[in-house]
A = this chain, B = another copy of it.
Amino acid sequence: MEHIQHKLHLWFGKQKKACIELLRRLVQEASTQANEATAQALIIEKCRQLQLQLDIWEPEIEKLKEHPYFVSARTAFHNSPNVVAVWKGTGGGRSLILNSHIDVVPEGDVTQWEADPYSGMVKDGKLYGRGASDMKGGTVALLLAMEALQALGIRLKGDVIFQSVIEEESGGVGTLAAILRGYRADGAIIPEPTDMKLFPKQQGSLWFRLTVRGKSAHGGTRYEGVSAIEKAWGVFACLQQLETERNKRINDPLYHHVPIPIPINIGTIRGGTWPSSVPDCVVLEGRMGVAPNETIEQAKREMEEALQSLSEHDKWFQSNPVELEWFGAQWLPSSIETSHPLLQTVTKAYREVKGADPVIEAAPWGTDGGLLTQVGAIPTVVFGPGTTAVAHYPNEYIEIDRVLEAAEMIACAMIDWCGVDGV
């Protein structure tokens, strides 16, 4: 095995140029929601070169939408193919899903980007562009890991199921469709941008919309009205208290250094229409973190109860209850024990390449790992290059060396998990 690792290390040492080339081409395809096809075409071509068994299909919304964890604002997935590519093992080993999403969030305000958001420009060892960290760098790491093993003539015992899915950024329909199509494995790795940390547990999340009512009046006689902004302050305080209570219960050591393991974030606020009128409506939108060991139904119920309790302290809410709507995306939480063999495998692979122990934490955000573990019963570790500090922001980038490093670790993990034929 020492020998294989050494060969792997040498092989990756020569891949920088190829890594940049593949990642640049992927980043240059602006695969925002509903525009995934051309980026998937690059994936398909690469998988074909690797002689994997390709399964390419457009998820059928009619079949999916009845599923309790189906979340999407789309009405169809035409021209938004899911790609699964299987590298069959020789038999007798553990199977492994390598899951990565091809969709990227929109580039946002272009003027805040120093270069074209889809330039794929390389500077000081970093490749820039929307999706570089989240998560085309991870995708390239997976593809390189498979290529490395093939290049060294290694044949794995267990099956490797590479998945390039759509819709992760909007709730996970791509991964859900792959699970419902029957893809299962003994474990899964998702190379989301963890900054090379290992996440055996991850927070789920729910989006909510709160409508707070007031009563309009002229600003000069504002005492004749009820300010929805003022009432929204009370709602905000209520959610802060709920957040405090929920986080007090989190005693998992993986959250030891996290100030707020499962935050409730108010992301947007909109209210009123005229400076000199008392606003009669405020709408708040936000994200509620769901603990790894909690169901989304439990989390929803807690917020519902908290909002109902508002009327105990403020009678206004008795006749004007806050309207709560769960909308948009949701990510299921996910959890495997820290003693789980898959985590040990990835930990070992990390040590082999890096010569140091990895940081093991609970993820502050959800991934498709929630669907894999909860719907597919597939133990999942999230681990990858790139960092969320730059994901979703202007001038997103990834360090090329981290992509190669993660690829090498994943290759090592594949060997350990799936087993090598003839060794």
Listed in ascending order, the chain A residues whose CB lies under 8 Å from chain B are 203, 205, 207-209, 216, 218-224, 227, 229-230, 232-233, 236, 259-260, 263, 265-279, 282, 285-287, 289, 328-329, 363-366, 388-389, 391-393
Q: Which residues of B contact A209 (CB under 8 A)?
A: 275
Least CB distance from A262 to B in Å reads 9
Are A267 and B278 also in contact (CB < 8 A) when A218-B364, A220-B203 are? yes
Write the nearest CB–CB distance from A216 to chain B, whole angstroms. 7
| For the complex of A and B, 5 pairs with smallest distance between CB atoms | A219-B265, A220-B365, A268-B272, A276-B287, A220-B364
Q: Is the CB of B233 within 8 A of A205?
A: no
How many monomers of this protein are in the complex? 2
Neighbouring B residues of A363 by C-beta, 8 Å: 220
Q: A216-B393, A220-B289 are in contact. List 16 more A-B contacts (CB 8 A).
A: A205-B276, A219-B286, A220-B287, A220-B364, A221-B364, A222-B265, A265-B276, A266-B272, A266-B279, A267-B272, A267-B277, A267-B278, A270-B271, A275-B287, A276-B286, A276-B287
> Given that A227-B266, A229-B266 are contacting pairs, would A275 and B207 also be in contact in the complex, using a CB cutoff of 8 Å?
yes
| Residue of A230, A265, A391 ringed by the most chain B CB atoms within 10 A | A265
Which chain B residue lies CB-closest to A219? B265
Q: How far is the CB of A72 from chain B (nearest CB, A)?
A: 16
B221 touches A388 (CB 8 A): yes
Of the candidates B222, B233, B267, B276, which one forms a contact with A236 in the assembled complex, judged by CB atoms under 8 Å apart?
A: B233
Q: Give Cα distance in the complex from A223 to B223, angstroms.
A: 36
Main secondary structure of the interface of A (DSSP, over half): mixed
Complex CA–CA separation, A222 to B278 (angstroms):
30
Q: Which residues of B contact A221 (CB under 8 A)?
A: 263, 364-365, 388
Given A269-B270, A274-B267, A220-B205 contact (CB < 8 Å): yes
Chain B residues, CB < 8 A from A265: 219-220, 222, 227, 275-278
* CA A207 to CA B218, docked complex, whole Å: 13
| A400 CB, nearest partner CB in chain B, Å | 23
12 contacts between A and B (CB under 8 A): A218-B388, A219-B289, A220-B263, A229-B266, A230-B236, A233-B233, A233-B236, A265-B275, A265-B278, A266-B279, A269-B271, A270-B271
Q: How far is the CB of A287 from chain B (nearest CB, A)?
A: 4
Q: Given A233-B233, A277-B392, A364-B220, A270 and B267 touching (CB < 8 A)?
A: no
Q: A220 to nearest B CB, angstroms?
A: 4
Q: How far is the CA of A216 from the CA of B265 in the complex (A)?
A: 12
Contacts of A220 in B (CB 8 A): 203, 205, 263, 265, 287, 289, 363-366
The smallest beta-carbon distance between A87 and chain B, in angstroms, is 33
With a cutoff of 8 Å between Cβ atoms, the chain B residues found around residue A366 in the complex are 220
| Complex Cα spacing A57 to B236, Å | 53
Q: What B residues does A259 contact at CB under 8 A?
A: 223
Contacts of A232 in B (CB 8 A): 269
Q: Which residues of B contact A285 (CB under 8 A)?
A: 272, 275
Asked whether B276 lies within 8 Å of A207 as measured between CB atoms, the reply is yes
Once bound together, how far apart are the Cα atoms of A205 and B207, in whole Å?
A: 39
